[in-house]
Amino acid sequence: MTGIPFTDLVDEEYVASFASAGSFDGPTSLDEFAQKHFSASKPLKNSIRKLNLPVNHPVRRQLWPYLLSRCYGTSLKIPTNENAATQSDNGAPAPSPIQQSLLVGYELADRRLQSTYHLNSRGKAIHLSLLHEVSVARPQIVYAPQSWPILALLLHYLRPREALACLNALLDQSGMISQSKGEWRGRCLALEQLGAAGFPKKKLFMRLPHNEAARNQLAVWPVAIWDFPFECLVPILDCYLVEGTKVLFRVGLVLWNLAMKATPEKTLDAVDVGALLKSAASNYPPTNASGLLKKAFRIRGLSRRHITSAVDKAMNFCQG
């Protein structure tokens, strides 16, 4: 299985499923790959949108740190003592200083976001330990639930210290990861504002039952998008690292549309919209990841300005 990009924190059965996948045509080193696919004459976001790189491509070992360094202009700060904070002498996850507490690793999120995809037991333990490190090192962060799935995805390809460095780089960027309950609530409610503005089409908003319960159920969309299959989330994260939060809103609008299409009109008033979103995401075919992104980027006219305005309106509504 030479060339498999996954770390030893990934479930062996999942890694073994790629044993007969064969080799890839074209460059498998990052430098050669970047020269071929990331031309200086083209915007990086356009190249990433069309990349459609398989989840088991060897370049994935280095792609996400490369994208972060290129987009934000700084080298990632990775400690040299790679295993110090995450392993004991025998290679097992180091015990947390407050190991007995059930809250360790959940300080920044909650149990709704507890999917860790294909991480094995050691990977899950390290995932919680690193999240706890973030909460201790950044006491100013009140609530950052997106840290949970993003770090879980990073750990599939990166050593713990590298994954933590990438997460810290995202937390250092304004607007990439919500870091307060007010900001998170604003993002949760902003999708309805975008629907009311006609994205992707006005009829999508018109199909939403116009009552408080349905609005609150739609607000789970930032949780539900992380229920898409791993094979879909990896290319979504590619685009997110380059373009930011607007990618997640685009995916959220697609998910909303998928959920509404799968539900007969006459039953909409009697269903839980949040459950529909989570079901539509978890049941999406993992083999059609490129189709999901195509739908997301086909939404015309949606800009960062529209999203910022929608979030601001939602936050003002919450405060009012």
Please state which of the ranges 20-34, 131-145, 218-232 shows the lowest mean pLDDT.
20-34
35-44, 62-71, 280-289: least confident range = 35-44
Q: How confident is the model at residue 114, as a pLDDT?
A: 77
Domains of the chain: 12-69 (no CATH), 181-319 (1.10.472)
Confidence bin at 320 (pLDDT 50/70/90): low
Whole-number Å distance between alpha carbons of 107 and 139:
10
C-alpha–C-alpha distance, residues 90 and 258, integer Å: 47
Give Cα separations from 21 to 1, 18, 178, 281, 299 (angstroms). 9, 5, 38, 26, 34
Stretch 28-57: mean pLDDT: 92
Query: For 83-96, what is each residue's pLDDT tens digit?
Result: 444 444 334 445 44
Ranking 66-75, 135-144, 245-254, 306-315 by mean pLDDT, the lowest is 66-75
The overall pTM is greater than 0.85: yes
Q: What is the mean pLDDT of residues 96-114?
A: 64
The confidence score (pLDDT) of residue 54 equals 95
Q: Can you give the pLDDT at residue 103?
A: 63
Which two structure tokens, joined as six digits, stand for 291?
């189709």
Residue 171: is its pLDDT beyond 80? yes
pLDDT, the chain, mean: 88
pLDDT digits (tens, 9 = 90+) for 129-156: 999 999 999 999 989 999 999 999 999 9
Give 230: exposed, middle or buried? Use CB within 10 Å, 0-12, 13-18, 19+. Answer: middle
